[in-house]
Structure 1
């Protein structure tokens, strides 16, 4: 599909990430230790309200003192419900239409999210992730990444329950070695290209 002289930049090592991720990655320090902060981001719109499902599953974890950063877009249809849940969940904070996603990912110890474009942002920052499939075009990547040991895949949003989220999150929280292994694998997956090259690709795309 391309001429012989074309250079193909393929795979997650060439993911088009904003420069802020390269900056956050330079100061990143991941290692063993307790989970103190969880990032919950199911995409800007989250039509299926997976955010509420996951947040209910994290309620007891939040009560135990773990901070929960919840991110939604300004136009999310279930934003008011999510806001109410955050207000009634200790240590949960709602962020709307953020411009510091790299900072939130870098400060988190664990993420719960969709398997869309944010997947490669989390991989670049080595953030262990529990994924929920929100759309058909996420199903294959979620399956393949889980099979290769890069993420934990809970499957389709229609079948995910708060109890499933709680069980998966608790299992990773008590498994320091497993969590560190996920982080190390994803860092290797998405950092095969120097950040400066990724920045050049991004600028060229603009």
Structure 2
């Protein structure tokens, strides 16, 4: 169910990566949510994009340059930061006196003709960073972030579902085996998943 929900959510995000306020209200409306729930429960195979409008990876894409950290103090303040260079040494430019490298994420911009997210002058760059702070009764209770390119949006959801819905301890939920969806119908599952579970998923 989580895998199907991830596929549906990716399609919604890609079709409306930066919706205006009116469109966002329509996406989050009860009517649209019920429609998505019906798709989720319908069963059967699903396919679609998971990253950008095009299945082509950004030129020069290079993994391993994203970090995330979460901090809470005794006064109840929470911070969750996810930072990425984009590729090796980012833009190759460091802020003088800091050693901090600037990223080169502009190369992730969607430049595919026909894409609803086609890069335009002055438009914010759609990004897959998703640091999160969860609240209970209006107060922060959990900060969670992760590296992983577009997998960030999948990893965090799976960890949160394991912790909040299935009651796993936070570290156990983070350490639990996960799946990564790719474009089309491909689902990559960690080899720590029990063989009988894989058989059931294939069915």
Q: TM-score, normalised by structure 2?
A: 0.28
Greater helix proportion: 1
Max Rg structure: 2
